Amino acid sequence: MRIGTNSGRVGVGIATAALVASAVPGAVAAQDPVAVCELAYYTGEFGAYGESLSNDVIVPVENVINSDPPMGRPWELYHEDLGTNGEAQAYRACVDQHGAEVVISISHEYRTYRDAYLEQVADNDSPVGPSVHGGSIPGNLGGNAAEPIFRAQGADEALGHGAVLQAEDFGAGNAVIFATEVEGFQLAANGAEAGAPAVGIELLARIDVPPEQPSYRAEAQRIADLDPDAVIVQAGSVESATLIKQAQEAGYSGHWIGETGWIQNEFIDTLGTEPIAANESVGYAAFGPDTESPAWAFYSDMWSNSTDTEKFGGAEDQYHFSTYDLMVQTALAAEQAQSYKASEWVPAMRDVGSAPGEVCYTYADCLALIRDGMEIDYEGVTGPGEYTEGGMNTIRSAYVQFNEDGSTADPVIFDTDRLLALYPSLTQAECDDSNVCDW
């Protein structure tokens, strides 16, 4: 299997799917695969863990979905790098070169090609857009047939809210926000900045810096001089680890509260474990899996048995399990709708993850119920599989702290009412009567 550093084509499970298709009544020919194209991160700000993010897509497709694909049509994966040429060009390659019916992870640069996407959907009722990394898109965009984007991880700004709540739980009276100039990180920093005064935390400084710098020594020294109770960091895993190490060298020790990407191996590989013991705490505000669910039992076993966990990490990684859930629900919705057309897939995406319906926890079980003509209610690892009107998934917001050996403690789930109290600060797109939007 090849994951390219630019345009990569990965074919998965075609022979197996051919046998399945021949046995499924009404299934279309297996030689008619579904082009599923990931907007991938092999270069640029997130290049350090682009291969891992692609693997998050590949694992559920190879090991779950293509064992019995919707309508007998196997998923054929493509990966288009957006780091060098931009997300808009990667999207065009997915649609124009690969004929993608499913485009995975419309994200930070969506504003640059939203008009083109909406026009494509209006003309072709396709492609649909399940997104792992779309939390920077305002919550009032998406979730409908005209703009069929469904997001797996909630809003980026809400990550900032979680960081503020955790700082409050630590008893912090003041804080510094550090963020790199990447839209998603800036939005999360905005969420933290808006939320801090609401919980009585004084913001000593907000430090915005370019990404991918080899050193943040000047910023680390400024943090040490300010000596905040907590530092809220919205930055890539390597930049974040570099900052923490350099702040320690400058004499600072406190609470470091980061973001979801800190679960990636690159964070601990860069940080090491000594700074964890030297500080009051190091952890991140994100969301947690439901480990008591039968969905977790199946998923975690599948992940451990099909993945190089030394390279890509364990099943508890938020990118791993949220991508798994999103891919499973996307496939179940296609089977329910018997279509990948936006006008049919979108209502099915909502139907398969919400009541009423028979509660089910795995792709195979849910698929069997659908084929028996039953309504289902998919309950996944990430949460209940329900979405807001704008297509944001319901997640279990949580704080995860690192142990001194670099492992992670169990997630501590945030109280929903505390989070909802901060939600009025979330960015909404302002749209005119022609659906031209600004945010």
Q: Is the pTM of this model over 0.75?
A: yes
* Average pLDDT, rounded, for the chain: 91
pLDDT at position 58 is 98
Give DSSP secondary structure letters for 85-117: T-HHHHHHIIIIIT--SEEE---TTGGGTHHHH
In the chain, where the domains are located: 156-289+393-428
pLDDT at position 1 is 29
Q: Each residue of 370-396: b (16+ CB within 10 Å) or e?
A: beeeeebbbbbbbbbbebbebbbbbbb
pLDDT tens digits along 214-248: 999 999 999 999 999 999 999 999 999 999 999 99
Of the candidates 295, 270, 297, 296, the one whose C-alpha atom is nearest the C-alpha of residue 282 is 270
The CATH architecture one would assign to domain 156-289+393-428 is 3-Layer(aba) Sandwich (3.40)
pLDDT tens digits along 149-194: 999 998 889 899 999 999 999 999 999 999 999 988 999 999 999 9
For residue 165 the two structure tokens come to 């709540």
pLDDT tens digits along 338-383: 999 999 999 999 999 999 999 999 999 999 999 999 999 999 999 8
